[in-house]
Amino acid sequence: MRVAMVSRTYWPSTRGGAEKYFYEVKKKINHPVTVYTWDKVKGKDIVQVEIPKVKIIGSMIFSLKTSCLIRKKEHDLIHVNQFWSEYLSFLTKKKLVSSIHDLPSKNDFLHRMIMIHSAKKSEAVFCLSEAVKKELISEGVNIKKLFYAPPGISITKVKLNKRKYSKGEKIFTHVSRIAPNKDLITIIRALKLLKKDYDFKFYVIGQKMSWTDYYKRIVQEIKANDLEDNVKILGKVDEKTKNELVRSSDAYLHASRYGEGFGMPIVEAQRMGIPVITSNLFEKLGTVKSNHTGLIFKAGDEKELKQKIKKLLSDSRLRRKLISNAKKISKTYDWNKTSKIIQEVYEKVYRGKL
């Protein structure tokens, strides 16, 4: 069985959870796999689809060009990463499976309907959370074709090196692409409120996205709140540096309002023994359980976020409980288990037994 994996963006050129998901799964599939992406990624089994990088039209062109390239190859199965690659469902007659990280909101009607169409056309759909699975069922997708396949978590061990990043201040970290849905502005405003109580450094690890001016808005917000000495945007860093920074943290912060399917960096922080504070979006997804594996605040509420940070820093018993519970659960996320689920579904689809 020959598999084509289609992901508009791909690890490590683009460092996001959706990209890493395909990257890790590909390594463990016991069949020939070719990846089609528009990112510049080295590899003999990587096909770069060169197109203009325009947010919507570019994605359509990517799907059209990719379908033409795949048509000429003897692939038995196409696995689509539903991250602006979903137009492919209109363009191919080959057997199709999909990984759906999250569904667009009902306000984004067209994009949502395209993704639901893709899910209905797919022979099988891999959902990263039970919340996404339930939402697809409510939209009429056959439950028999839906499979829960969460990400695995693998961490390269690093030594604790807090002195490298702090001169005695508290350290907070955040890992993600710098985009509007991540809502870094709420974190910055919460930290402004916290400044009178604590000295701190907040390290933002993640790359700028070319399709948005959100990075510029973040820089303006940092200046407006007089936090230039406290907030450091590091951009894209290597995995060792990222893990070293997170491992040195007093807390990991993630404030997303929408556009999340799981929250891989959150669970990576938990695996490293770092307590997390997240928006209630991640409670809905099932990634964090309030007061059990992390602290939760209402998305967009900087005052509540500030209160949760103070609570975590002042309550050592709570901190120990969150770390212990989260570590245990984080160990259940395993790339070998996820890849086994995906490969078994591949084989059923290939043989027409699904």
What is the per-residue pLDDT across 220-271, written as a single tens digit (0 to 9) for each? 999 999 999 999 999 999 888 999 999 999 999 999 999 898 999 999 999 9
State the pLDDT at residue 90. 84
Question: Is 183:299 a contact under the CB 8 Å cutoff?
Answer: yes
State the pLDDT at residue 85. 64
Chain-centre distance of CA 94, in angstroms? Answer: 28
The strand pairing partners of 294, in sequence order, are 290
Q: How far apart are the first and last CA of the chain?
A: 16
What is the per-residue pLDDT across 57-81, written as a single tens digit (0 to 9) for each? 777 888 889 999 998 899 999 999 9
The strand pairing partners of 78, in sequence order, are 4, 96
User: Is it the case that residue 345 has pLDDT exceeding 70?
Assistant: yes
Which tokens go with 338? 């996820």
User: Is it the case that residue 88 has pLDDT exceeding 90?
Assistant: no
What gap in Å lies between CA 71 and CA 248, rounded to an integer?
A: 49
Which residues fall within 8 angstroms of residue 304, CB to CB, at 6 or more apart?
297, 298
Grade residue 52 by pLDDT with cuts at 50, 70 and 90. Answer: confident
Looking at per-residue confidence, does 107 or 145 come out higher?
145
What is the per-residue pLDDT across 13-42, written as a single tens digit (0 to 9) for each? 988 888 999 999 999 999 999 999 999 998
Q: Is 162 exposed, middle or buried (0-12, 13-18, 19+ CB in 10 A)?
A: middle
User: Is it the case that residue 83 has pLDDT exceeding 80?
Assistant: no
Handedness of CA 269, 274, 276, 282 (dihedral sign): positive
Question: Is 231:119 a contact under the CB 8 Å cutoff?
Answer: no
State the pLDDT at residue 15. 87
State the pLDDT at residue 84. 60
Domains present along the chain, CATH in parentheses:
3-152+334-350 (3.40.50.2000), 162-330 (3.40.50.2000)
Kindly report the backbone phi and psi dihedral angles of residue 122, in degrees, each rounded to the nearest multiple of 5, phi listed first: -65, 145
State the pLDDT at residue 54. 64
Across the chain, what does the average pLDDT equal?
A: 93
User: Is it the case that residue 122 has pLDDT exceeding 80?
Assistant: yes
Question: Model-level pTM greater than 0.85?
Answer: yes
Question: Is 191:203 a contact under the CB 8 Å cutoff?
Answer: no
Chain-centre distance of CA 85, in angstroms? Answer: 16
User: Is it the case that residue 53 has pLDDT exceeding 70?
Assistant: no
What gap in Å lies between CA 128 and CA 21, rounded to an integer?
A: 10
Chain-centre distance of CA 180, in angstroms? Answer: 14
Grade residue 341 by pLDDT with cuts at 50, 70 and 90. Answer: very high
